Structure 1
Amino acid sequence: MKKWKYLTMTAALGSALLLGACGSNTAEEEPATNEQTTGETADQGDAQLTGTVSGDGSSTVAPITEAIVEEYSGVQPDVKVSVGVSGTGGGFEKFIAGETDFSNASRPIKDEEKAALEEAGIEYTEFKIANDGLTVVINPENNWAQDLTVDQLKALWIEDGTTKKWSDIDPSWPAEEIVFYSPGTDSGTYDYFDEVILDGADLVKNATLSEDDNVLVQGVAGDKNAIGFFGFAYYLENTDKLQAVSVNGVEPNNETIESGEYTPLSRPLFVYAKNDAVKENEAFYDFMKYTLENAGAMAEAVGYVKLQDVDYETGLSTLEGLK
């Protein structure tokens, strides 16, 4: 999983962000200096809090959350926020087990996860924080599969017992074996792709699966016959290594994702918060408030698409009602 570090920013998030990567499954951010802090900041008279906040879940949502954690540490340096990256499904498992205060998700919660939370006596609230366009990517040397239909994507990715070649999809394409890279089965991105492209059928068995999106990036970047998919932000961070596939003639970008024109691969991103933690942990309430106040700016800063302002206002009102 890529860990995003903010090096320089202006108070309005208007300057370019310099992002670096390191291999870590858990983000525990060091306090930021006042010069680094952006978005909503505490006035000198505001109460300083202490406490701990824990979350886990989607690798797609993680860049937004990690950026927020980085900035929040400059506002409340004595609140320790840790964010793991186990994938959407893995995050919900920890949420159900009572190990976390919030769970990041790149798909809506499933009925069986709702039932497990009810059985565990955990009440929760869903908050939308941004939009994403699940992006299908190919190697820059691939000059034949730059625009695919949904039906072609299904024919490519569905398991049918054959070893697939590009020429199986279109006879004019190379008779070369296709190399597949996919998020792991705990990923909400995997689930979403399976639902909207494969209609719940099995994904090709010979795909390389990984919860680390950087593994997928490197795999596709290193093989002319490779294809993969992941969140839009990871594509933007690697445009020098990859090219995005248009779907039904529509390329993924901020405008087509926000408008929903990039269908069916546009999707919302979520944070699920434990209601009791909001009520009982002042640090968690404050962190969630900060998240909703800054999620739009942070989403755009790391390559996703913000919601309408009214959506964040609704989220803040819902959060206040839980307290």
Structure 2
Amino acid sequence: MTGVPDIHDTPSRREFLLASGAAGTVLVAGCLNNDNSGSDGIETKGSGDSTGDMDSGSGESTTEGGSSGQLSGTIDIAGSSTVFPLATAMGERFKKEHSQVKINIQSTGSGGGFENHFCPGRTDFNNASRPIKEEETSNCQGNNVNPVELNVATDALTVVVNKEANWVDCLTVEQLKKIWSAETKPKTWKDINSDWPDEDLELYGPTDASGTYDYFIEAILGEEGPGHRQDYSATEQDRQIIQGVKGSKNAIGYLGFAYYSENKDAVKALGIDDGNGCVDPSLETAKSGKYTPLSRPLFTYPSKESLAEEHVAEFAKFWIENATNKKIVADEVGYVPLDSSQQEEQMKKLESAISEAKQG
């Protein structure tokens, strides 16, 4: 591996990456090439296509003879909408070097990906915005699928409101808990703070298939608490959360930082006070550990079985090799890259899994 090609992306391509999660199916070749042949592009699907037809497993892999050693085959990826733009960016660059590898990426939510695609053996990777659950691991292993956990970045889960919501710039963790708790379920902004407007809250957030939803419960509501309220507009498409909050002065929602970073002109991010004053979400505060409790690790999970295929193993290595790349992870997508020690740890884990897969 020689690293990432020097690709200068246009802003419209960045918007495309985020919009594609809310669209149907699109093909990407290099930057933008609407090639329906599949073999020359990356196929991306939103969660509306989460039960659509996909090739089972990794498909047949070949490495052509001759001096080029060209990789070919299919890589199927499902899971987290938060990790989706990062997976797409890595997939694009990998295809610059290996044009005969077809990469299918679906945004299905972490849990939806594990349950419906990865654990049944229909995909090679599952992206996740929280660690795999015990029951998911058991479900996978029951189907002879052994997930390998790889940390690929850090996110700052972001709470957003309408640009015109001039009464609020920061929420305490307790206020955030009150807004989203199934027990309290306040109806108006005034119910949160008596100085705020007596206007109905409009709530937008991810579905219960999302790792972002699971992480929010763990970090804010507590796993033993009353649970997440269900009277809100739920979607697996982060773009729709942005649109909902943008469309109403009284709206509030939460989502991954990358989607907020691409829409700073549309919505306003709130600072979070975890007891030591308000801290705004940013790559710097997430990296430093100041943005608590909403900074979180992001993962991809290749199956050990799929890593026996050369093209799958090479893509996984490519991703980890470039997980420290600020241009891709931070500047383009909007997450905190791994540092060199984290990268080394993840690469050792991956190489060990690849070795075991090829021996077994």
Q: TM-score, normalised by structure 2?
A: 0.80
Instruction: Decide which of 292, 296, 313 is 1:285's aligned counterpart.
Output: 313
SS at match of 1:67: helix
SS at match of 1:124: coil
Instruction: Decide which of 126, 130, 133 is 1:103's aligned counterpart.
Output: 126
CA separation in 2, counterparts of 1:197 and 1:316? Answer: 32
Q: Describe how 1:242-281 pairs up with structure 2 within 5 A.
A: 242-248=267-273, 249-279=278-308, 281=309
Residue 130 and residue 13 in structure 1: after superposition, are their counterparts in 2 closer, same or farther (change >3 A)? Answer: farther
Residue 13 and residue 50 in structure 1: after superposition, are their counterparts in 2 closer, same or farther (change >3 A)? Answer: closer
Quote the residue 2:339 is aligned against. 308
Q: Describe how 1:174-185 pairs up with structure 2 within 5 A.
A: 174-185=197-208
Quote the residue 2:329 is aligned against. 299
What is the one-letter code of the residue matched to 1:321?
Answer: S
Q: Describe how 1:217-232 pairs up with structure 2 within 5 A.
A: 217-232=242-257
1:178/1:225 contact within 8 Å kept: yes
What is the one-letter code of the residue matched to 1:253?
Answer: S
Does residue 121 of structure 1 match 2:144?
yes
SS at match of 1:275: coil
Q: Report the Cα offset of residue 309 of structure 1.
A: 1.5
Residue 60 and residue 245 in structure 1: after superposition, are their counterparts in 2 closer, same or farther (change >3 A)? Answer: same
SS at match of 1:289: helix
CA separation in 2, counterparts of 1:26 and 1:108? Answer: 27
Q: Describe how 1:1-323 pairs up with structure 2 within 5 A.
A: 11-12=5-6, 17-18=11-12, 19=14, 20=16, 21-22=19-20, 23-24=22-23, 28-31=27-30, 47-93=69-115, 94-160=117-183, 162=185, 164-200=187-223, 201-248=226-273, 249-279=278-308, 281-297=309-325, 298-300=328-330, 301-323=332-354
Residue 12 and residue 257 in structure 1: after superposition, are their counterparts in 2 closer, same or farther (change >3 A)? Answer: farther
Residue 134 and residue 162 in structure 1: after superposition, are their counterparts in 2 closer, same or farther (change >3 A)? Answer: closer
CA separation in 2, counterparts of 1:25 and 1:267? Answer: 28
Name whichever of 297-306 and 11-20 sits farther off. Answer: 11-20
Q: Report the Cα offset of residue 144 of structure 1.
A: 1.8
CA separation in 2, counterparts of 1:26 and 1:208? Answer: 23
Structure 1, unpaired ranges of 5+: 1-9, 34-43
Q: Report the Cα offset of residue 121 of structure 1.
A: 2.1
Instruction: Kindly report the root-mean-square deviation, in angstroms, between the aligned alpha carbons of the 2 structures.
Output: 2.1
CA separation in 2, counterparts of 1:123 and 1:261? Answer: 35
SS at match of 2:191: helix
2:186/2:192 contact within 8 Å kept: no
SS at match of 2:299: strand
Residue 195 and residue 136 in structure 1: after superposition, are their counterparts in 2 closer, same or farther (change >3 A)? Answer: same
CA separation in 2, counterparts of 1:86 and 1:31? Answer: 24
2:217/2:228 contact within 8 Å kept: yes
User: Which digits, 9 at most, give the CA deviation of each residue in 1:46-103, with x for residues without a partner?
Assistant: 5211111111000000000001111111100001111111100111111110001110
Give the share of equivalent positions with the same residue, in percent: 41
Q: Report the Cα offset of residue 157 of structure 1.
A: 0.9
Q: Report the Cα offset of residue 219 of structure 1.
A: 0.4
What is the one-letter code of the residue matched to 1:252?
Answer: P
Name whichever of 81-90 and 116-125 sits farther off. Answer: 116-125
SS at match of 1:50: strand
1:28/1:81 contact within 8 Å kept: no
SS at match of 1:217: helix
Q: Report the Cα offset of residue 321 of structure 1.
A: 1.7
2:127/2:301 contact within 8 Å kept: yes
What is the one-letter code of the residue matched to 1:51?
Answer: G
CA separation in 2, counterparts of 1:250 and 1:143? Answer: 18
Q: TM-score, normalised by structure 1?
A: 0.88
Structure 2, unpaired ranges of 5+: 33-65, 355-360
User: Which digits, 9 at most, give the CA deviation of each residue in 1:188-210, with x for residues without a partner?
Assistant: 00111011111133222321000
SS at match of 1:227: strand
CA separation in 2, counterparts of 1:14 and 1:80? Answer: 22
What is the one-letter code of the residue matched to 1:176?
Answer: E
Residue 225 and residue 255 in structure 1: after superposition, are their counterparts in 2 closer, same or farther (change >3 A)? Answer: same
CA separation in 1, counterparts of 2:72 and 2:204? Answer: 42
